[in-house]
């Protein structure tokens, strides 16, 4: 699968979810992660969709895969914080929340020419 095809699959899955086709969205994102296990975007989208569906174990598994690919990403740290909070683990939620804040500060401190 080309990177363009992968991006289209992720976008289609996101549109499916927005239209209420949750099972189809999960199936497409699962396919995307199977064919491109290095795709941060696919894992993150799968984590978010599963979180929205209250499939917390699946959301956590996908979130952890995305985090392994980009541990300093603001958005995956925020996602993991929300998942852990929902699971009732305030300590882990706060850890990932702090990591998200650090990532945000890091972005704010970058000079325009450094991006």
The 10s digit of each residue's pLDDT in 33-86 is 999 999 999 999 999 999 999 999 999 999 999 999 999 999 999 999 999 999
Least confident of 19-23, 34-38, 111-115: 111-115
**pLDDT tier, 30 (very low <50, low <70, confident <90, very high otherwise):** very high
Is 115 within a domain?
A: no
Domain span at residue 88 reads 3-110
> Is residue 33 one of the residues assigned to a domain?
yes
**14 lies in a domain?**
yes
Q: Does some domain include residue 51? A: yes
- Whether 65 is in a domain gets the answer yes
Residues 46, 26 contacting (CB under 8 angstroms): yes
Q: What CATH number should be reported for the domain holding residue 76?
A: 1.25.40.10
pLDDT band at 114 (very low <50, low <70, confident <90, very high): low
Tell me how many domains the chain contains. 1
Q: Taking the model in full, what pTM does it have?
A: 0.86
Tell me, what's the pLDDT at 5? 96
Give percent above pLDDT 70 in the chain. Answer: 96
Per-residue pLDDT at 111 exceeds 70: no
Query: What is the dihedral angle through the alpha carbons of 18, 22, 26, 28, rounded to the nearest 10 degrees?
Result: -60
At residue 112, the pLDDT reads 65
Which ranges of 53-89 would DSSP assign to H, the alpha helix? 56-69, 74-86
């Amino acid at each position: 699968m080309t990177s363009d095809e992968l991006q289209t699959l992720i976008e289609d899955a996101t549109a499916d979810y927005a239209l209420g086709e949750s099972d189809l969205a999960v199936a497409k994102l699962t396919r995307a992660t199977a064919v491109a296990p290095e795709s941060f975007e696919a894992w993150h989208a799968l984590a978010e969709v599963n979180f929205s569906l209250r499939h917390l174990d699946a959301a956590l598994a996908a979130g952890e895969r995305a985090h392994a690919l980009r541990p300093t990403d603001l958005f995956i740290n925020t996602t993991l914080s929300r998942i852990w909070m929902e699971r009732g683990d305030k300590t882990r939620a706060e850890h990932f929340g702090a990591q998200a804040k650090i990532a945000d500060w890091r972005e704010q401190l970058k000079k325009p020419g450094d991006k």
